Structure 1
Amino acid sequence: FRSKYINLTAIALDWKVSGGVYEERPAIVFYVIRKGVIPLGDQHFPKIIDGIETDVREGIYRTTGTDSHYCRSYEPVITLGCSIGNSNNTSAGTLGCFAKDSTENTYILTCQHVLCLNEGSETGLIFQPAYIDYVGMLKSEKKITIEKIKKAQYIYKDQETIDLNSKKLETIKNDLESAKKKDTLVGSFYKGLRDNYKIDDKNYGVDAAIASLVETINGNFRKFDPVGLPISDFTFKRLSHEPINLSCTIDIINNLDSVDISQPVFKVGRTSGLTIGHIKETILSSILLSGVHNAFHQQERIFGRYLLKEIKHKGKSIFPPKWLDRQITVMNDGMFTEEGDSGCIWFNKSGAVIAMGHGNLFTNIAIYSIGSPIHA
């Protein structure tokens, strides 16, 4: 079947969409590279298969990001977009940017749920990289490699596999000992908010916090580059874009007229590295659920109101659900942000900061990344 349709990229079961609204009719969905264009020699898709209607939509598979491993590594000089974590040793997020107050003190800016142990926490140490991306990761690699050696010894009885993984195990052990000696402490939680705040009778939703820089055991502060990224210029070129130098300025977004939605938006995050998307002019502003029927009410605006999901740790709620107002959405062909990218800043091709990402909204039509405008 696939050989008959060069344009075809995927097949899935879904509900029929008519006029942008889901209908209560199942459909076989054909995803194509470009809708409305039939390659020479291809046939038309069947309108009905075994009594089930078909639907044609555009859809292209692309990887979610590029060079994310650089964002999770230990670097002597800390940059924007790198991995950070708190003292619970089980979670990680992204360092958004560095900010200064009126007295020129420097702070780390990221999401509150990245820095805090729970909703009411007012203290907490911050590390770069996060434990699970450094010592924790090496411990896991050590355990996995030992299991491979045992399997090769007693099941496969393969000496080449034993030798290969034995050498790898020695390297991991050395890296682990080195990692344990590194002082990865970078900051301490100072202040945060995961809620709406009001200015001029308008609610502005944020999931944001700052951490003050602290001295390490040796009495020094970790070095940082306020405009640097953990990825290289080559990473941008691989995605067919010129390298971007962050300008430390803010791209002020107040309404639809103040943003060129045809221009790409970029982010560098701990989990997915560099990704590129676009701010959506028509965004999902509300969802009405009625059984299996989803009615999508859309408005031509760039701000929306979204519900932050509850965050749990070991089965216990540490951050309750919250509604955030005046949020901005970005979408790309895959996922613009993933779990662990929380706190990443979004910037334009001029290097100006637009927003800080904190989560995703999953719909049957697309995956939207949600962010709080840095200034709106």
Structure 2
Amino acid sequence: MASVSRKRPGNGSGDMLPNKSRKPEKGDVYSSTDNLTKGTRVIVSVIESEKAIENEKYQCNGEKFTVVYKLWRENTVSDETEEFEVYGHEKIKEITKYLKENGDSIMKKHSNLEMIRASRFRIKRNKAKKKKAVSEPCIAIYCSYKGVVPVGEEAFPKEFDGFATDVREGFFHLHGNYDICANSKDQLDPLRMGASISRENGGDGHGTLGGFVQLNDGEIEFITCAHVLHSADEMLRNASNLQYPVVQPSVWYEGSQRCGNVFKSVFPSSAIVDGVSVDAAVVKLTNRIPRKALLADLTTARLKRLGFSRSLLPKFCCGKIRSGEESQDHSNEGVLKCGMVSGLTLGKLVEGEIFARYRNIALSDDQQRVSTTYMSQLVIRGIQNVPFSEKGDSGALVFQYSDLNDLRCIGMIVGGGGGLSFATPISSVLEALSVTLMDF
């Protein structure tokens, strides 16, 4: 809870949003402190999506609070350019020494202080109110939202014991495997959708960690295709009770380590749900359990090619799905998936379903070749002359979207042919495995 420290928030850190057609940017204020008098008590909510409720009110113990939303997106380029590096070296040493002695107490005194450091420049404004970085060593104070002060606390001072301060906005992020460019073939902790997986031993290949699900006991597990974790002979025999250790990345890559065990598998020759053949398995996790539904292999080059960026990423966290029929009703929307081999790709749903025969699964006891039919699979074509999926992407979840912050899962990649990709409708997969997609 905070109170307004001045009538105009942000000290220039962002605009109000009178023009709804303008693309939201970092620093935009949705329900702002504009027109609120100094000292007004508000609740500040820093968000990552522009889908906020404007002018929302919250009532507690008879008191009504205005909820102030701040759209936050991480800066990717530092303001510390080379032009400032030649100035103030001794002053920076003095400030650094001061912060070593007093930084902890300053942090405790100001609960909205995210970071504090010595900086070679300050942000100042000219007569036209335009910001400009000038060479002047100072203590840089980073908070989540300029313009408000936590109730019961004081505003940031203009100086600490003679050292000038400069209030900015920013957050501290750990740069472990939550970095968007985490490689699917690296050992990921926590696990991510699109990661490389395989059986620990005895398997015929490797594939993709599809998505995270819940069993009836509420534990977090993940799903993939059964043929990723079972041999052709096991699929022929419908050996659904075989429970193998699963590793990530797959045994084909360095750093392979157990992450769980096969819990339940269903095979296309026997698992038919609403006329759909299902080739799927659920893996019970033993470690590296995620708290978010993150994607692997979102390289900068790939994001740029697809028209995305670090601040415009596809997000799936709510567990929303569409049946095969519903997905056909939204065939005008875009389709995407993140696979272990081809990474993030875009496509379009092709009207109609496909029935495909997979030959030479295995030799039967009488040495006859056996085949099985994959019935009622979704058909997806790639765009920009790029295949939607490749060998090794089996298990990757497929999403429809009109808004990157509102992905709807429609299927799971199982194979392809004729330049097209095929996916099993997700509603049939979940029913066959008796699981639900995680709502993070």
When normalised by structure 1's length, the TM-score is 0.55
Q: What CA distance in whole angstroms lies between the structure 1 residues aligned with 2:359 and 2:292? A: 31
Aligned pair in 2 of structure 1 residues 233, 352: CA closer, same or farther (>3 Å)? Answer: farther
State the match for 1:227 in structure 2. 293
- Separation (CA, whole Å) in 2 of partners of 1:90 and 1:258: 34
Contact 1:237 1:243 in 2 (8 A): no
- Separation (CA, whole Å) in 2 of partners of 1:360 and 1:124: 27
* Distance change >3 Å, CA 95–CA 253, structure 1 → 2: same
**Paired position in structure 2 for 1:190:** 263
Match of 1:345 in 2: 397
Contact 1:247/1:352, CA 8 A, preserved across alignment:
no
- Pick the aligned partner of 1:250 from 304, 309, 320: 320
Work out whether residues 68 and 272 of structure 1, in 8 Å CA contact, stay in contact via their aligned partners in 2.
no
- Work out whether 1:81 is the aligned partner of 2:81: no
| Residues 93-242 of structure 1: pairs in structure 2 closer than 5 A | 93-117=207-231, 118-119=234-235, 120=237, 121=239, 122-134=242-254, 179=255, 184-195=257-268, 197-198=271-272, 202-214=274-286, 221-232=287-298, 234=300, 235-241=302-308, 242=312
Structure 1 letter corresponding to 2:244: G
State whether residues 81 and 230 of structure 1, in contact with CA within 8 Å, keep that contact through their aligned partners in structure 2.
Answer: yes
User: Could you tell me which amino acid in structure 2 is paired with residue 335 of structure 1?
Assistant: P
Structure with the bigger RCO (C-alpha within 8 Å, sep 6+) is 1
**Preserved contact between residue 126 and residue 186 of structure 1 (Cα < 8 Å):** yes
User: Does the 8 Å CA contact 2:183/2:296 hold for their aligned counterparts?
Assistant: yes
Match of 2:410 in 1: 354
Contact 1:251 1:352 in 2 (8 A): yes
Deviations 1:180-213 (A, max 9, x none): xxx71011111111215455xx412111011112
Deviation above 4 Å: which 4+ runs of structure 1? none
Aligned to 1:71: 184
Cα distance 1:304–1:70, how it changes in 2: closer, same or farther (>3 A)?
same
- What displacement does 1:343 show? 0.4
Matches of 2:350 and 2:362, distance apart in 1: 30
Question: Structure 1 or 2: larger helix share?
Answer: 1
- In our comparison, the structure showing a higher alpha carbon Rg is 2
Distance 1:368 1:96, change over 3 A: same
Residues 323/74 of structure 1: CA separation in 2 closer, same or farther (3 Å cut): same
The letter for the 2-side match of 1:325 is M
The answer for unaligned runs of 5 or more in structure 2 is 1-179, 429-440
Where does residue 285 of structure 1 map in the other structure? none
In structure 2, C-alpha distance between the alignment counterparts of 1:71 and 1:251, rounded to whole Å: 24
Q: Secondary structure at the match of 1:240?
A: coil
1: CA distance between counterparts of 2:203 and 2:276? 31
Please state how far the C-alpha of 1:98 moved relative to its aligned partner. Answer: 1.2
- 1:93–1:320 Cα change, 3 Å: farther
2:278 is paired with a residue whose SS is strand
Q: CA separation in 2, counterparts of 1:254 and 1:206?
A: 13
Q: CA deviation at 1:250?
A: 3.2
Kept in 2, the 8 Å contact 1:227–1:248? The answer is no
Distance 1:336 1:69, change over 3 A: farther
> Counterpart in 2 of 1:264?
334
Q: CA separation in 2, counterparts of 1:257 and 1:114?
A: 25
Unpaired runs of at least 5, structure 1: 1-66, 135-178, 215-220, 282-301
Structure 1: distance between partners of 2:407 and 2:220: 20
Q: Secondary structure at the match of 1:255?
A: helix
* 1:304 paired residue number: 354
Aligned to 2:380: 330
Paired AA for residue 329 in structure 2: V
Match of 2:347 in 1: 277
Residues 240, 312 of structure 1: CA spacing in aligned structure 2 closer, same or farther, 3 A cutoff?
A: farther
CA distance in 1, matches of 2:296, 2:340: 10
Determine helix, strand or coil for the equivalent of 2:294.
coil
> How far apart, in 2, do the equivalents of 1:187 and 1:211 lie?
6
Structure-2 separation of matches of 1:193 and 1:360: 20
Give aligned-pair identity as a percent: 23
- Paired with 2:386 and 2:317, the residues of 1 have a C-alpha distance of 27
> Quick one: which amino acid aligns to residue 249 of structure 1?
G
TM value normalised by structure 2: 0.47
Give the 3 Å change call, closer, same or farther, for CA 232–257 of structure 1 in structure 2.
Answer: closer
- Contact 2:196–2:248, Cα closer than 8 Å, also in 1: yes
Q: 1-side partners of 2:371 and 2:222: how far apart?
A: 24
Structure 2 Cα separation of the partners of residues 198 and 93 of structure 1? 22
Deviation by residue 1:52-86 (Cα, 9 ceiling, x = unmatched): xxxxxxxxxxxxxxx99822122221100000011
